[in-house]
Structure 1
Amino acid sequence: MTISFVPFIPWSIIAALAALAIGLSALGFFRRIRGTAVRLAASAAVLAALANPLLLQEDREALTTVVPVIVDRSQSQQIPERIAATDRAVEDVRERLSRFSNVEPRIVEVADPATSDSPSTKLFEALSTAITDVPPARVGGAIFISDGQIHDVPAGQEALTFNAPVHGLITGKAGEFDRRIEILRAPRFGIVDEEQELTFRVFDDGSTSDLPADVNVRINGEDLGTIPAEVGRETPFAFRVPRGGNNVLEFSVAGTPGEVTDINNRAIHLIEGIRENLRVLLVSGEPHAGERAWRNLLKSDASVDLVHFTILRPPEKQDGTPINELSLIAFPTRELFVEKINDFDLIIFDRYQHRGVLPILYYDYIAEYVRNGGALLIAAGPEHAGEDSIAITPLASVLPAAPTGNVHEAGFYPRLSEQGERHPVTRGLEGSTAEPPQWGRWFRSVDVEADEGETVMTAADGRPLLVLDRAAEGRVAMLLSDQGWLWARGFEGGGPHVSLYRRIAHWLMKEPELEEEALKARASGRTLEITRQTIGNAPGEATITAPSGETRTVPLSEIAPGLYRAEQRMTETGLFTVSNGDFSTLVHVGAVDAPEFKAMISTTELLQPIASATRGLLTRLDNGDGAERIPDILPVRGEIRVSDDRRMLIRLTDETVLKGVNTLPLFAGFAGLAALLMAVSAMWWREGR
């Protein structure tokens, strides 16, 4: 209770009256006048009434003590045993805190942030956010339920905004160990077929074992073998980039019995293959308008080394010109088709016919080159239907179509076949969707019987125009017309000859983007994009396997003929497996060096300094005997000066909130009147004597 004054007249007048009363009383005492004390008391009563004293009584309510409980739900906590232990601990702590009516628990679940590509466990940041609306004096302590892998532990108590204990309940068992593999250094780009080197390391966290680990290596799904690696030491690995475009290197180490988890036993690295100086051999059987279209396309690509020969003077041509007067270059057949044939990435025969320039045996060498992984393109003209056609040489063993002997010479629009609308070489060619197609006509095609391969473009009456085929390890394409140059010249508006020719050449050289059947996945932040390419029926759903082992299926939607896609927002980060039918691919979502995956074993070391500095309790839920124990909670008033190794101490707050104020005037009503009457009566009685 307190006393306050609300005077009826200004304080200055009251002060003047008080001074006058004191002066007169002093004079009366000095002269020893009787009744002076009574007069002074009566004056004081009058002055007190004028000052109007009030008795104030505050109505206050005690505030609760806030205890934030920070629950770690990061990926290192997603091991089934830890999930169960965390759930039980949360319920137990909640129940124990609820026993105290003046304690307010705040349960805060902290998962990996959905916007972060490099997840880390930031529990103290979550703690600071949870108590932003609470005065520091009301915070009675903080309880962390975690595996101890916390990445924002402050350096000392002074970094906290409150003065109360920090307790830690650690999931996992003492003595845990975990094997993991990391790629330390690796190139992002590499020249195809040139040797590259990366360095990886196998870690055994929580273990001092020096036993070697066998690391299995795969590239683009193909096994490269097993490498013995010494645990804890850097291991170099040399490899060759097999193809242009994206290449996926996968390293996996077998799990060890009793390790915490095997989700970090695999690592991948993406390396972009760059083709350096692609070597293309273009052999034109005779000068014609179409050879320039091929030559210009190939010479415009700076990465292509073009070797071009045109047969101007076949052996049967005898006009009597002396040899020493000829300026023609002899066709180096043995050097090209025997000694250096494997140096070429692509061989193109443009309107070529067998007229004795190449020995018959050399066609067998070319066929063998294709079967061993080479690429062959036949750009056919009328000669292909004649008696000197290369289709009647040993080269026929790798050709998907045989000529009938007929050549059709009439205007037609090249059209995509049903397969061609889905095939990546011809899918989406500009102008192909209209009827008739929005490009110029051609006027000649060679009639063939296509027994093998895929006919992706047709001439008049549905006859094959472009046939693609695989021959063992190699690839063959047959363009059964020499009229493509009409598009290059802009006849009737021209056509997409550059796109068509380039796609044919790149498909022949096994460009991954042009594979008929392919499953690809890439990550953009936390979004996983899946692309399925097929020339068959709808591929159905794709299955996504997360690092935690959780699987989900997603439907693939057709966005173009033969092209299906799906996008999913991932809550986890790490190495995902995407599969569809017989196809499977790996993709890493988030940063590969995220702190969340650097260590998965539980630990008390990171949280121990701050717990000791704040006199908190740090203990494991499971001490190794299989029984979980939650320490008792003891509320304490006043500052906590010593720690308790068996109980979690909570500092109770003394904070209150003002609900209202009750006022009682001391000189109001009958009480004030009675006091004044008594003073005046006493003075009158004394004067009467």
Structure 2
Amino acid sequence: MSWNIAFEPYFPWPVLLALAAPAVLLALALAVLRLRGSLLRLAAIAALLLALANPVVLHEQREKLQSVVALVVDRSQSQSLANRSAQTDAAVTALRQSLGEHPEFEVREIEARNVAGGSEDAGTELFRTLGNALADVSPGRVAGAIMVTDGQVHDVPASVAQLGFNAPVHGLITGLPDEFDRRLEVVSAPRFALVDQPQTLVYRMLSEGENAPQTPMDVRIYLNGDLIARQNAEPGQEMRLPFQLSRAGNNIIELVGAEEPGEVTGVNNRAIAMVDSIRENLRVLLVSGEPHAGERTWRNLLKSDAAVDLVHFTILRPPDKQDGTPIEELSLIAFPTRELFVEKIDDFDLIIFDRYQRRDVLPALYYDYIAQYVRNGGAMLIASGPEYAGSDSIALSPIASVLPALPVGSVDERAFRPVLSELGRKHPVTRDLPGSEQSPPDWSPWFRTVDVGDISGQAVMNGPEGKPLLVLNRVGEGRVALLLSDHGWLWSRGFDGGGPHVPLFRRLAHWLMQEPELEEEALDATVSGATLTINRTTIGQDPGPATLITPSGQTETVPLADQGNGRWSGTFNAEEQGLYQAASGDLRALTTVGPANPREFQEAVSTTERLAPLAEATSGSVRRLVDAGGNVSTPDIVPVAGRSSASGNDWIGLRSTDETALRGVNRTPLFAGFLGLAILLLALSSTWYREGR
């Protein structure tokens, strides 16, 4: 409670001063003249003026405010290691009970968690969480903060001034005092790389903790899920890993170290490096058997791609063409068959035979070299015409062993509109081609197709009466495509509306060169914020649910919903940061939520050192909750005042506040009612009485 006097005048203060001035002058004049009753007159005038000023006695009713205690509970990923989660729960339960015995404290319990999809520097941010929880509390009301954590806090203020209040900060540390941990750390890795070019990754193994063994760690290195090397890493020593990338796109290099018995966690025994790779040049050899209308289509398409290094030959003068022209008068370039098909055949990513036929340009042995090139991982496209059904067809050479379909000797020259097969609607090469959503597709007709027998592989486009038109097949480690018509150029010329020749032929070329985005059976995992999406592509039936392994090693099942045309997808709410491994059948995909190597797991050993400087500066303390035997004990809570010590051997102190809240005010006017009237009448009557004597 408090008492105050305030004035609530009936007239504005300038008016009261104007009335008071002549009254004061009159009273002074009476006093100077020493007239009888002057003092009484002066008192009466003062009482009248005071009544007009209306003095009021204010009686304030105030209530002492509670001091606010912040109980910050660390629920970050590192707190899930070992037995720390159970230790935290036991400590929080005991602290709630202790704080509940002190009604002068208002307890605000807040949990700090990692944000999935956070930045590369994301970690345990207890003080950011603390600041948000106390944003509506004045600094004078803060009694202090109690933090239950493993000590690995990444946003500790550098000074008390940055804390925002002047009250003790206490750290109660989970984890055992004799912990140790071994972890892998990527020191440097290329962010981008060229396919088939030598690269180097540098990493090291760190062994932390007083009892940490200093023995080597067996490290296995995986590239996109395939084991490529094994090394023994000495503690603290930088290890160099040479590697090459065999495909374009995103590549993930995993370093997996053997777990030591007794270490805090094996999660950080794995380190990740993500490398985006591109092909410097896609080398394509295009061999045209003779000049024809579609030859320019292939050339223009391949030359328009800046990533393609094209070598093109057209057979203008086969050996059987003899017209008597002297050799010295010919300006033709001899076809370098040995150089192309023996010495440098492996330098090409794709070989295209465009309406090519056997004319003794290539020895029979060279066709065998080409077949072997395909089996060893090469790519070949046969863009056939009528000659494919003739007696000089390359299907009658050793190359037939890798062809997906052989001719039966006839050519169908009826007009037809190419259509996608049921398989073609799912295959990445032909799926969603512009115009294919209609039946039949809105494409111009072709007028010739080569008849073939049984096929091996996948017919993704059909001609008249469902005959195969485009057949794809895998042979050994390589791929082959067979286009059974030479009328694709009609689309490029816009005949009768044309057709999607650019996307079709470009996808076809990239599928042959084994670009990952055009695989028929593929699994991909992408992340947007905290949502992880698993995409499954298949040309088969329902692939079933996908399996997902979280960074902490938990296995989750993710149902996949049919999106149509061979695409299936499912989503998962990713609450942890780090590497996720998705699997469907024999397929495996990797992705990361947040940083590839979360800061949470980089330093997993519990510590008192990070919070100690700030706790000491605020008169707080940092102590362990768990003894060597695993027993959890919490200190007593003691209210303290002013600058008293805020910690002891078995207790921690929280400051009490002096702040109050105004609950009500009682007003008592001094000159109101009978009291004020009596005072005025007494003053005036005294004056009259004195003058009457």
1:462 Cα shift?
A: 0.7
Letter in 2 for 1:590: G
Q: Tell whether 2:108 aligns with 1:106.
A: yes
Partner of 1:686: none
Tell me the distance in 1 between the aligned counterparts of 2:679 and 2:436.
111
What code does the residue aligned with 1:301 have?
D
Aligned residue for 1:628? 632
> Which residue in the other structure is 1:202 paired with?
205
Structure 1 residues 316 and 611, CA gap change in structure 2 (3 angstroms): same
Structure-2 residue corresponding to 1:125: 128
Partner of 2:368: 364
User: Taking structure 1 as reference, are residues 320 and 672 closer, same or farther at Cα in structure 2, changes over 3 Å only?
Assistant: closer
Indicate yes or no: 2:249 matched with 1:245.
yes
The amino acid that maps onto 2:133 is A
Q: C-alpha displacement at 1:15, in angstroms?
A: 11
Judged with a 3 Å threshold, the aligned counterparts in structure 2 of structure 1 residues 255 and 46 are, in CA distance, closer, same or farther, namely same
1:233 matched to 2:237? The reply is yes
Number of the residue aligned with 1:687? none
The aligned runs of 1:648-659 (5 Å cut-off) are 648-659=652-663
1:449 to 2:453 alignment = yes
Question: 439-448 or 530-539, which moves further after superposition?
Answer: 530-539
Which AA in structure 2 matches 1:311? I
Structure 2 matches for 1:248-647, cutoff 5 A?
A: 248-592=252-596, 594-641=598-645, 643-647=647-651
Name 1:142's counterpart in structure 2: 145
Evaluate the alpha carbon distance shift between residue 386 and residue 164 of structure 1 in structure 2; reply closer, same or farther with a 3 A threshold.
Answer: same
Q: Show the counterpart of 2:66.
A: 64
- Once the two structures are TM-superposed, the CA of residue 14 in structure 1 deviates from its matched residue by 9.5
1:128 CA drift (Å): 2.0
Distance 1:672-1:531 versus aligned 2 partners, 3 A rule: closer
Aligned to 1:4: 5
- 2:159 aligned with 1:156: yes
Between the aligned partners of 1:478 and 1:125, the Cα distance in structure 2 is: 62
Task: Give me the whole-angstrom Cα distance separating, in 2, the residues matched to 1:319 and 1:43.
Answer: 147
- Paired with 1:115 and 1:286, the residues of 2 have a C-alpha distance of 57
Distance in 2 between the 1:375 and 1:315 partners? 27
Unaligned runs of 5+ in 1: 684-689
Contact 2:379–2:479, Cα closer than 8 Å, also in 1: yes
Instruction: Give the corresponding residue for 2:690.
Output: none
CA distance in 2, matches of 1:8, 1:333: 117
Q: Please, what is the CA RMSD of the aligned residues? A: 3.5
Amino acid in structure 2 at the alignment position of 1:342? D
Amino acid in the other structure paired with 1:4: I
Alpha-carbon deviations, 1:343-385, whole Å to 9, x = none?
2211122222223222222222211111111111111111111
Q: Percent identity?
A: 56
Deviates more, 1:429-438 or 1:462-471: 429-438
| In structure 1, C-alpha distance between the alignment counterparts of 2:500 and 2:30, rounded to whole Å | 121
Q: Deviations over 1:83-119 (max 9, x none)?
A: 2222222222112111112211011112124573332
Aligned mates of 2:433, 2:102 — CA distance in 1 = 74
The residue type paired with residue 549 of structure 2 is T
Whole-Å separation in 1 of the counterparts to 2:313 and 2:157: 73
Does the residue aligned with 1:627 lie in a helix, a strand or coil? coil
| Structure 2 unaligned blocks of 5 or more | 688-693
**Cα distance in 1, alignment partners of residues 164 and 370 from structure 2:** 79
Distance in 2 separating the partners of 1:40 and 1:324: 146
Shift of 1:189: 2.1
**Distance in 2 between the 1:515 and 1:5 partners?**
87
Amino acid at match of 1:259: E
- Contact 2:221–2:230, Cα closer than 8 Å, also in 1: yes
The equivalences for 1:63-102 within 5 A come to 63-79=65-81, 81-102=83-104
The reply to whether residue 167 of structure 1 matches residue 146 of structure 2 is no
Letter in structure 2 aligned against 1:76: S
What is the CA–CA distance in structure 1 between the aligned matches of 2:258 and 2:621, rounded to whole Å? 38
**C-alpha spacing 1:435/1:43, structure 2 compared with 1 (3 Å):** closer
1:42–1:676 Cα contact (<8 Å) kept: no
Distance 2:678 2:355 in 1: 133
Contact 2:168–2:615 at 8 Å: present in 1 too? Answer: yes
Rounded to whole Å, the distance in 2 between the matches of 1:338 and 1:232 is: 49
Q: Which amino acid aligns with 1:348?
A: I
Q: 1:425 to 1:672 in 2, by over 3 A?
A: closer
Q: Aligned equivalents of 1:143 and 1:434: distance in 2?
A: 67
Cα displacement (A) at 1:311: 2.3
Query: What is the rounded CA distance, in whole Å, between the counterparts of 2:367 and 2:103 in structure 1?
Result: 94
Query: Amino acid of the residue matched to residue 128 of structure 1?
Result: G
Q: Secondary structure at the match of 1:294?
A: helix
- Measured at CA, do residues 327 and 92 of structure 1 come closer, stay the same or move farther in structure 2, by a change above 3 Å? same
